[in-house]
Every structure is written in C-alpha cells, then in structure tokens.
Amino acid sequence: MRVKLHSRRAGLLGLCVAVVTSLNSTIALAETRATAPTASAEEAPIKHWRMPEIERRFMDISELETPYISRSPENRGDGIPVGSLTGKDGKAIAALALELSTGERGAYDSLLIAKNNTLLFESYFKRGRVDLSHPQSSATKSYTSLALGRAIQLGYLTMADLDKPVISFLDNIDRANLVSGAEKVTLFNALTMTTGIEIEEEVWDTLREDTQRVNGQGEIQAILEESAPITDESQVFNYGTGPQFVMQVIDAVVPGGARAFVTKEVFGKLGITNYGWRTAPSGLPVSGSGVSVTSRDMLKMGMLVINDGVWQGEQLISKAYLDKATSRQIFTGDDDIYGGGDLVSKQGYGFFWWGTELRYGDKQYYTFSAQGGGGMYIMVIKDLDLIVVVTAHERNDITQQITAERIVPVFASH
C-alpha cells in the first residue's frame, strides 16, 4: 500500500512539474516580441561584424533583451512564401526556440524552419535581426559552389570540365615553375578538398600578405609553386585548400569576372541585396569565408537547392551539378562532426556541402548542409521537404544533434 501511495505521489509530482514547466514556457512565450527585430541605424550598414574567436571585439551590435519567436512569420515581400506552424508542433518548436534564446545551449541568433517551400517558423535572439546580414564563415564555400553551378547552367562550363586540371582554365599560369603534379589538381579535387596541396602555415601567412604576388591568377601560381609535390597519395581530404581554385576558374570563364557574376547571376537572381562579400588578396571575391547574408536569404539558398536549382520557375543552377554537390563524394569520418552527437553519423563531403545522417527512431534521414564556424547552418532534409536555418556567434554547438532530437521528430511524425 505504501508503495502504491508513493507511486501515486510521484506521478502527481511529475504532473505538477510538467504543468508548471508548460505554464512557465507559455508565460515566457507571451513575453516575446510581437514584431521581428530590425537593425538600428548604426547597425544597418554593418556587413562583417566580428566573432570572438576571430577577433576580441564586436562591432556595435547590441543583444536583444526580448527574443522574437513566431509561429506565423510575416510576409515581407521577399519572395519567401509564409504559413503557420500550429498546434503541438508549433508549441514544440517554439519551446526549442525559447531554450536557444536563453544562451544556455550556445550563442544562437536565429532559427528559421521551412517545409514544402513555405516559411512556417521564424525566431531571432541576441544579435539576430530580420534585416541584418550575418557573417557566414565557411558557409561561404557553399555559395561559391552555387556560383560554379550557375556557370555550368549558363554554359560557361560543362560537367565534364569538373575532371579537367584547374590550370587548364587559367591562361596566365607559368607552368614551367609549378611543382610536380600540379596538373593533377582538377576542379573536382578543388570542390572536394582533395587537392593534395601541402604548404606550411607560415608560408600561407606570407602569401596572404604578399598582395602583389597573389594578385589575380598569381594566387594559384604562388600556391602551386610553394606546395610540396602533388601525388595520388597526397590527394586526400584536407579541409582548407580548394575554394580559391574554384573562384579563379569562375573568374576566368564568365564574362565580366567573378565579382559581377555572383552579384548578378547568383545573389541577384535570388533578390539578395542586403549582403557583403569580401575581397581576397587576389582581388577576387573571397571563396572560403567572407560572405554575410540575412537568415531569410540563407533560407532562399536552401529553397533553391531543395528545388534542384529552380527559383520562381527559372532553372538557376544545374540540377546535374547539384545532385553531385549535395551528395557525399567522399566520406570524411565521424570522429569530428561539427554540431554533432550520437544521433548524427556517416559524415561526408560533396562540392563544399556537408552530408550526414540524422537518426530518428529506426530511420536515418540524409541531411546536406552549408556550415560555417560560429554556428551557421542551412540544413536540407529532402525526405521531409524540410529546411532548417540557424545563425549563431559561437563555435561550440550541437545544432545537428538538436535538429535530430527536437526538430526532425516534429516533422517526421506526419
């Protein structure tokens, strides 16, 4: 009898805790902002605010006192259809956003979720603003990949060109002074970070500072002079070298150069105007890290990719290219999965897009993503017609794990 009474009390206690927790969440959500936060006059011009692990100071972007959590995003006339996330699904995602807004799980700035090409959920906290471009870090690589796919769609390159040496596209390279094996570096190698280039870090530092030497195609000339010999054995996945080769090829084959091309044919086609794209020492757009865009514009790029390169009825990116870009061309191992956990596995790399499996129950959902240090993600789960966009300003996160734990179950249960 005492055992039964004890169990009953425990059950009542658990019920009370659940009710109180639910009530607290409801109260907290009621206290969130009614409208999406916008940048102040001082913040609006900022395109490249800094993250603490890169520099010790921030640009003057204040943290929001109250988060914005919306289950019915506003139609802002930016080409993104909006809807509502209602019922228990909406409550579950809103509760997650509320947790993220506290900062206890990382320095998150935004969480957006779209399903079936419709933005159903939108939230901003801390340094997040609906109209403020956010540093993308290495997600920039994924945008560089889209630029190459656009060049292929327009006929400036072909899919067969992916297997050609990078130097075959560059007319200003002096082949006499290149290291042995330089011709082995194909566009495919550059896109999959399997160039085989090996350069000491202090040499890299010197090259970055020698703007005269690395100007234009001199960048590739210098890299292929300073590298150790390139062999079949050295051409394994080594994150870092590759994006600059791709941007150089884009610059060489498109009319007007890479800068005008990404402005008009990539971001311009998507109606993305509130962005920054830094310039590399070579004079070309930075290819590995240096873009800033808004969270909604990140979503546009996710929508472009989930729809096989089609945006508002126009084929912008080659579907054949995207099929390869978002597939795991190589497996990189599960020892170091960015944002991972026990529900995230089978990490691989495509053309500057990452691929993993997110587990829910006995099913695995293939997820490809643009990822940037500091906590930037565009995660696409085609089997669920789902796009998750996250921005943050701290490297230590488990965003893919959180997505597997808290977001996938909501949308996989239907």
Assess whether 113 and 149 both reside in one domain.
Answer: no
In a domain, 279, yes or no: no
Assess whether 101 and 159 both reside in one domain.
Answer: no
Give CA–CA dist 383/327, Å, rounded. 14
In a domain, 312, yes or no: yes
Q: Is the pLDDT of residue 57 over 60?
A: no
What dihedral do alpha carbons 61, 66, 67, 68 form, nearest 10°?
-100
Q: Is the pLDDT of residue 160 over 60?
A: yes
- Main-chain phi, psi angles of 20, to 5 degrees: -65, -45
Assess whether 304 and 245 both reside in one domain.
Answer: no
Which of the residue ranges 55-69, 174-188, 193-207, 260-274 would you say has the lowest mean pLDDT? 55-69
Burial of 20 (0-12, 13-18, 19+ CB in 10 A): exposed
Assess whether 405 and 296 both reside in one domain.
Answer: yes
Last residue of a domain, one of 255, 279, 303: 255
In a domain, 13, yes or no: no
Span 32-55, average pLDDT: 78
Of the pLDDT bands very low, low, confident and very high (cuts 50, 70, 90), residue 167 is: very high
Give CA–CA dist 345/381, Å, rounded. 14
Q: Is the pLDDT of residue 16 over 80?
A: no
Assess whether 129 and 151 both reside in one domain.
Answer: no
Assess whether 241 and 344 both reside in one domain.
Answer: no
At 396 the pLDDT is 81
Enclosing domain of residue 229: 139-255
Last residue of a domain, one of 255, 275, 309: 255
Assess whether 39 and 131 both reside in one domain.
Answer: yes
For the chain, give the mean pLDDT: 90
Q: How far apart are the two ends of the chain, measured CA to CA in Å?
A: 42
Assess whether 155 and 217 both reside in one domain.
Answer: yes
In a domain, 268, yes or no: no
Assess whether 301 and 191 both reside in one domain.
Answer: no
CA-to-CA dists, residue 88 to 22, 159, 186, 407, angstroms: 12, 46, 50, 12
Angle at 310 between CA 305 and CA 311, to 5 degrees: 95
Q: Is the pLDDT of residue 125 over 90?
A: yes
Give CA–CA dist 383/66, Å, rounded. 35
Q: Is residue 178 within 8 Å of residue 170, measured between CB atoms?
A: no
Q: Is residue 196 within 8 Å of residue 185, measured between CB atoms?
A: yes
Quick: pLDDT tens for 80-96. 999 999 999 999 999 99
CA-to-CA dists, residue 194 to 178, 185, 201, 241, 355, angstroms: 18, 8, 18, 8, 16
Q: Show the tokens assigned to 340.
A: 């991972």
Q: How many domains does the chain have?
A: 2
Count CB neighbours of 337 within 10 A: 18
In a domain, 222, yes or no: yes
Of the pLDDT bands very low, low, confident and very high (cuts 50, 70, 90), residue 74 is: very high
Give CA–CA dist 260/257, Å, rounded. 6
Q: Is residue 166 within 8 Å of residue 249, measured between CB atoms?
A: yes
Last residue of a domain, one of 207, 237, 255: 255
For residue 364, what is the domain's CATH number? 3.40.710
Assess whether 93 and 174 both reside in one domain.
Answer: no
Of the pLDDT bands very low, low, confident and very high (cuts 50, 70, 90), residue 50 is: low
In a domain, 262, yes or no: no
Assess whether 134 and 156 both reside in one domain.
Answer: no
Assess whether 132 and 147 both reside in one domain.
Answer: no
In a domain, 38, yes or no: yes
Q: Is the pLDDT of residue 59 over 90?
A: no
Bridge partner residues of 357 (DSSP): 345, 366
Give CA–CA dist 203/205, Å, rounded. 5
Q: Is residue 180 within 8 Å of residue 230, measured between CB atoms?
A: yes
Q: Is the pLDDT of residue 266 over 50?
A: yes
Q: Is the pLDDT of residue 6 over 70?
A: no
In a domain, 273, yes or no: no
Q: Is residue 357 within 8 Å of residue 345, measured between CB atoms?
A: yes
Q: Is the pLDDT of residue 61 over 70?
A: yes
At 251 the pLDDT is 98
At 246 the pLDDT is 98
